[in-house]
Amino acid sequence: DTEVTQTPKHLVMGMTNKKSLKCEQHMGHRAMYWYKQKAKKPPELMFVYSYEKLSINESVPSRFSPECPNSSLLNLHLHALQPEDSALYLCASSQDPYRGNQPQHFGDGTRLSIL
C-alpha cells in the first residue's frame, strides 16, 4: 500500500475545463513533488515544495498551478490544458527538504486525458 494517496486515479477533461489533482501524505514529510510521466518515458520533475513553499518550478507552463495548503496536502490546478498534456501525473514526498540522501516516495498517480 502506497503511503502517498492521489485522487482521482483517472481524469478526462476538455481543453476548456478547470480541474484539480490532489495528493495527500501522512508521513510527516516536509518536501512534496509533482512529476509528469509520458508513456515509455521516465518521470520528469515539475514542482518541488519545501515546508509548504514552492522551491523549484521546472519552467512549467502557467496552465499548471500548484498549491500546498498544508504540510500533508498538495494540489495541482489545471486550466486550459492541451492534448499533449495527457500523461500520468505523479506526486511524491520526502522527509526533510534540507537533508540529503533521502528517498522520495511516490503515489500511484492520476492518469490524465485531455480531449
Partner 1 sequence: DQQVKQNSPSLSVQEGRISILNCDYTNSMFDYFLWYKKYPAEGPTFLISISSIKDKNEDGRFTVFLNKSAKHLSLHIVPSQPGDSAVYFCAASDDSNAGGTSYGKLTFGQGTILTVHP
CB of 103 to partner 1, least distance (A): 4
- Which residue of 21, 24, 36, 43 would you call a contact of partner 1, by CB under 8 A? 43
Binding mask 49-78 for partner 1 (x = CB under 8 A): -x----xx----------------------
Q: Give the per-residue SS3 of the chain.
A: CCCEEEECCEEEECCCCEEEEEEEECCCCCEEEEEEECCCCCCEEEEEEECCEEEEECCCCCCEEEEEEECCEEEEEEECCCHHHCEEEEEEEECCCCCCCCCCEECCCEEEEEC
| Span near partner 1 by CB under 8 A; candidates 11-19, 68-76, 79-87, 92-100 | 92-100
Q: Which of 42, 62, 69, 70 is close enough to bind partner 1 by CB under 8 A?
A: 42
- C-beta separation of 45 from 58 below 8 A: yes
Distance from CA of residue 72 to its chain's centroid? 13
33 near partner 1, rule: CB under 8 A: yes
Q: Which of 11, 13, 45, 73 binds partner 1 (CB under 8 A)?
A: 45
Binding site for partner 1 (CB under 8 A): 2, 4, 6, 31, 33, 40-45, 48, 50, 55-56, 90, 92, 94, 97-101, 103-109
